[in-house]
Amino acid sequence: MARTLLITGASSGIGAATARLAAEKGWNVALLARSADKLDDLAGQIGDAALALPCDVTDRDDLATAIAKVAERFGGIDAVFANAGKGVSNPGIEKGDPKEWHDMIHLNILAVLYTAHAAMPHLRKTKGHFVVTGSKAGRDHMKGSVYSATKWFIHGLSDNIAEEMREWGGRATVIAPGMVNTGFFDEEKPTKLQPDDVAAAVIFALEQPETSAVREIYLMPND
């Protein structure tokens, strides 16, 4: 029976690349994001192994409903990739925009907590795996960066989740890439990490034997 991977932020970039690669590896993939059109298009490309669920992951009720639909459709959830996140247009503290901080913190931090909270009972049943997108910015101190601070939280949270899940045979991994060529940036970054590179790291973590728990994968572009 195929295993099932739930992905947030699945409509483009790292999330979409991970969905495609996971499906190629034989996983069912549940695709969560706000953009229904993009999700439907991606699910159409993947086929019957994909389930598109338009969802606002910062809304706990919306998220819980989507996760329940995934478990019902595929008979359970074996892994979750909490990938949804965003940055801000005005970096720094003094000249930053508190409204942007508010929205970013809700997506980068609270949505990850909501996802873990709602998914954990399902992952317990399968001794599953929780994967989350961190960042090089969550390992370095960056001048005035609130975004970096959200990723520091995620790196700490991932290890805490790993210790909790370890009690019942589950695992957790933070994927920490440097610059990735996604819509996060206004211009193409062809010499930097590509979404497929990060997707490969996610699958590597998920497909480790039961005796191995990869807690962090740190990726940097060669250029």
Task: Give the span between the Cα atoms of 134 and 156, in whole angstroms.
Answer: 10
Task: Give the span between the Cα atoms of 183 and 147, in whole angstroms.
Answer: 16
Q: Does 147 participate in catalysis according to the annotation? A: yes
Task: Give the span between the Cα atoms of 172 and 71, in whole angstroms.
Answer: 19
Q: Which member of 27, 81, 147, 152 is catalytic? A: 147
Candidates 4, 22, 28; CA nearest to 78 is 4
Q: CB neighbours (10 Å) of residue 56?
A: 16
Is residue 51 helix, strand or coil? strand
SS3 content of the chain, % helix, strand, coil (to 5): 45, 15, 35
Is residue 218 helix, strand or coil? strand
CA torsion 167→64→152→171, rounded to 10°? 30
Task: Give the span between the Cα atoms of 110 and 92, in whole angstroms.
Answer: 21
Task: Give the span between the Cα atoms of 78 and 97, in whole angstroms.
Answer: 38
Question: Active-site residues: which are they?
Answer: 147
